[in-house]
A = this chain, B = another copy of it.
Amino acid sequence: MTDVKTGVNPLFLREEELRQAIELLYFAYRDFTAEPDAMLAKIGLGRAHHRVIYFVGRHPQITVTELLAILRITKQSLSRVLQDLVREEFVVQRQGTRDRRQRLLELTPKGVELERQLSENQRQRIARAYRRAGAEAVEGFRTVMLGIVDEEDRAKFAPPKPPVPGPRR
């Protein structure tokens, strides 16, 4: 196969390569969540609250069912953290107009501010890594990560082409 001239055992290389990837995922996630976790702990919230705040901020007017599909947890688990967030006025629930059974979720200004603070560190971490790695590496990163994600969720990640104020058809 390959690597004949270097005398390398390709199976070994592959195994080591895959293990490094496993560890990169573990360490990156561990370090990526450490700081927000610490900030949350100070105000009596946890990582679960962060996830809700993040995705509600990302998708204003999201319904409970949609949020459950993203988080892949039970409604009872979500309910607990959501109650905290509503009580503390980080999130508001509005009745849906199209379907009045729905509760549309939105961040309050206070929620927006918390979200910003929590994500700030994560954004900086990513920005730093992106800057150092360069555009080409970033493309590779995105491609590989997308391949790791379950197929059904890949559609969410259209290449980041912002809405260009061009001819609107």
Contacts and interface: CB of A to CB of B under 8 A. Distances in A.
A25 B24 contact: no
A94 interface: no
A35 to B, nearest CB: 10
A27 B160 contact: no
A144 B138 contact: yes
Interface residues of A, number: 65
Copies of this chain: 2
A168 to B, nearest CB: 14
A22 B126 contact: yes
Nearest to A131: B147
A125 B125 CA distance: 25
A138 B133 CA distance: 13
A84 interface: no
Nearest to A145: B24
A25 B21 contact: no
A157 B20 contact: yes
A41 interface: no
Given A27-B149, A30-B72, A160-B17, A122 B22 contact: yes
A25 B29 contact: yes
A7 interface: yes
